Structure 1
Amino acid sequence: MIFPNTVVEDRRAAAAQTMGIDLDRRSTADLAIVATISAVYFIDLLAVLFMLWNRRYPPIKAKSPILMACLLLSSALWFVGDVQMNGHVTLANTVLTNCRGLGFWVRILLGVCGVCAVFALRSFALYHVFCLNLPYRGMRVYLPIVVYSVCILIYGIVALVLKSTATLYYVDALDLCSTAVPFKASVFAFVWITLAFVAFNYWRIRGIKSSFNESREMAGACLLIFATMLFMTFVQFLHPRFPLSLAYRITSTVLSHLCTNTIWWGTMAIPLWNCMFHRKEYLDKWVDKLRMDGLQREYHVDSSSFIQGEFTPADIAMTEAVIAKQSYMYKSSDNYGFFYANEGGATRTFINTGDDVFIGQGGGIVEEDAHARTISWLHSRNSKDAGFGNDRHLL
């Protein structure tokens, strides 16, 4: 029984009194915090499953769903470690007395460092895509992950090789985990080096031209994570016995996971909500925004497949008929062919790139206007991305 355990709490209180230490017993406040944050993470889990199920939905895909899933997983592992290290539950006679396993490997390496690593990779990806104009794939993705993983692995193995009193160890009398000061300093140095890399990358992307405020998202995330880690650093070194104080341990746990959840939902709430309730309308607005900003390539708007339900058999048949006749009004190069036909009083535009056919729809506009819009769009984007205005498009 990890909470509450009256026998253990009485023993802790007696030991603290003998040592001249103030101790706040574990109470219903601890239980309430653990239960509430656990419920929040259960809701987060449902949101992550929905996000991964709809990961091909372009507004979600643009947020790097795999990275966002890793962010929440690392945050949840951080919480598991906080439950142990911050002293919210009874540790005696449970697996929670393994301070190095849960307190260091789970909480620090996979949790805190995992969260920081996701921010670092996200900022690094934004720098490659928006500043260097390079696709973020191949060795650009894998090399930083491999290097950081190797560093974490080496650090973790060294911590296991050292004796427990030099790293993290269980204090039976007080039923809590304690950390040797030099080791604690090395842990925070490792975390702050990672955060320094995040800050450096954010500085490099501060002026990027993006359609959906990625630089602002990163600014908010950096501000929150830096404030949280600054608070944790001061608490750990100025009040090393903070798990014995109800106010300090609750504040520490709540602040940490309020930070990570605010960052996650601040990034994913809008695309998830609209994917669920306004899927088609939001997608149209999302793509129109990309067209106006000219950032289709940066957001990986792909022209290789149809959006399900976007095209009717009549659309395809009409396109095939027009292409077969090879009767086009304008051809700008060997790569593009523009075809027009009337259907129900509306002028429909067909763009043939040689590989794909894109179908646009005008609202009863005359052929000259449709032609002008098409040429204007083509000149504004030196690529094969499809669509213009409110026309239907391929993604």
Structure 2
Amino acid sequence: MFPDPSIEDRRAAAALSMDINLDRRSTADLAIVTTISAIYFIDLLAVLFMLWNRRYPPIKAKSPILMACLFLSSALWFVGDVQMNGHVTLANTALTKCLGLGFWVRILLGICGVCAVFALRSFALYHVFCLNQPYRGVKVYWPVIVYSACILAYGVVALVLKSEKTLYYVGPLDICSSAVGFKASVIGFVWITLAFVAFNYWRIRHIKSSFNESKEMGGACLLIFITTLYSTLVQFLYPRFPLSMAYRVSLTVLSHLCTNVIWWGTMFVPLWGCLFNRRVYLDQWIEKLRRDGLQRKYHLESTSLVRGEFTPADIAMNEAVMREYVYKGPDTYAFYYDGEGGGQRDMAVEGDVSVRALNWMQARNSKDVGFGNDRFLL
């Protein structure tokens, strides 16, 4: 897959006969593919850590499932870029089938997937902060259902068409190329998706939030816009961009720098706090919500708090369901509850904050409190 001197010689001869400039694939392409692959491996470790701690309130507030989908779509985008941007040898491999990776993986699952994640997140923020409605239930996912149906229909149509009218392999140059009309339709589809993302961001630009969700969305929209604009200009002004070292490297680096900046810009602070300062950061996070008066906006359903991890802030937030607590040391509290054991109740905490006690904790004795999988909705 990586530069084969004989194939590169053949490509150079073909380009010369066609009077086309061609930059041979070199160790620079290998370095780009290797470096970005290593970055995505680090991202994968971060995603696994995020999902393992998905019930940690500051992480859960960032929609960890959506952020995992963002990572997956970005990685698929990169896999497609390796083929379509001409970083590796395609000859004598399955990569000569351009429509599979170049369209389905790179465009539909990759680029459109990234845009869909941001559209869904902005739509969720609009529901919570502007409409004051919880973002749950089938009805709130209708935009994703409609968009997924459009993607599926578009993909099926592309499969039915002849390869000469969509994406096709150019043997002498060992690259994938696309028909002008198909390229225009693909880029138009991406821009329509971006327009929906931008529309949702415009609706949430003035929301009051504790953790800069509006700024995060604004920055993400700007980065995606810049990347898509550059890609559009390159593909139309220089259709044979995979033959140019400068264009193929810059396009790949810009695209995946963009996706990584967006992902880490959203998740770095809660992941760092969870990993290195778990309890203190959670206290600070809850305290900020209380100061801003936004506890209800950031309610965290079924948030698991592991054994021995309850803090003074947790106690303060849930004091209405407690009869008393006994201090057991610098990091542990024993709890005694009002009520009759199991079941669910809604009760007011600190005025207007609704807290549901799920799976009530049962104190075995004053020295050993059963935490287990007990959960609260903060």
TM range (shorter): 0.7 to 0.9
Equivalent residue, structure 2, for 1:193? 192
Q: 1:292 to 1:140 in 2, by over 3 A?
A: farther
Corresponding residue pairs, total: 344
Partner amino acid for 1:186?
S
Structure showing greater radius of gyration is: 1
Equivalent residue, structure 1, for 2:279? 280
What are the residue-to-residue correspondences of 1:55-94 with 2, within 5 Å?
55-94=54-93
Q: Distance in 2 between matches of 1:21 and 1:102?
A: 26
Equivalent residue, structure 1, for 2:360? none
Equivalent residue, structure 1, for 2:243? 244
Q: Give TM-score, length-normalised by structure 2.
A: 0.85
Partner amino acid for 2:245?
L
Tell me, yes or no, if the aligned pair for 1:125 and 1:136 is still in contact at 8 Å: yes
Tell me, yes or no, if the aligned pair for 1:243 and 1:249 is still in contact at 8 Å: yes
Displacement of 1:89 after TM fit? 0.5
Partner amino acid for 2:297?
E
Partner amino acid for 1:383?
S
What are the residue-to-residue correspondences of 1:136-147 with 2, within 5 Å?
136-147=135-146
Q: Give TM-score, length-normalised by structure 1.
A: 0.81
Q: Distance in 1 between matches of 2:297 and 2:236?
A: 44
SS in 2 for 1:296: coil
Tell me, yes or no, if the aligned pair for 1:303 and 1:385 is still in contact at 8 Å: no
Equivalent residue, structure 2, for 1:218? 217
Once the two structures are superposed, residues 199-240 of structure 1 have per-residue CA deviations (whole angstroms, 9 ceiling, x without a partner) of 000000001111100000001100100000010010010111
- Percent identity, aligned pairs only, is 73
Equivalent residue, structure 2, for 1:205? 204
Q: Distance in 1 between matches of 2:298 and 2:223?
A: 26
1:378 matched to 2:347? The reply is: no
Partner amino acid for 2:92?
N
Q: Distance in 2 between matches of 1:351 and 1:158?
A: 61
Q: Distance in 2 between matches of 1:147 and 1:237?
A: 29
Q: 1:340 to 1:66 in 2, by over 3 A?
A: closer
1:131 matched to 2:138? The reply is: no
1:54 matched to 2:53? The reply is: yes
SS in 2 for 1:177: strand
Q: Distance in 1 between matches of 2:255 and 2:279?
A: 36
Displacement of 1:147 after TM fit? 1.0
What are the residue-to-residue correspondences of 1:89-168 with 2, within 5 Å?
89-168=88-167
Tell me, yes or no, if the aligned pair for 1:92 and 1:175 is still in contact at 8 Å: yes
Q: Distance in 1 between matches of 2:174 and 2:195?
A: 35
SS in 2 for 1:383: strand
Tell me, yes or no, if the aligned pair for 1:301 and 1:385 is still in contact at 8 Å: no
Tell me, yes or no, if the aligned pair for 1:296 and 1:385 is still in contact at 8 Å: no
Displacement of 1:350 after TM fit? 9.0
Tell me, yes or no, if the aligned pair for 2:56 and 2:303 is still in contact at 8 Å: no
Q: 1:341 to 1:206 in 2, by over 3 A?
A: closer
Tell me, yes or no, if the aligned pair for 2:295 and 2:353 is still in contact at 8 Å: no
Q: 1:307 to 1:284 in 2, by over 3 A?
A: farther
CA RMSD of aligned residues (A): 2.8
1:25 matched to 2:37? The reply is: no
Partner amino acid for 1:125?
A
Partner amino acid for 1:86?
N
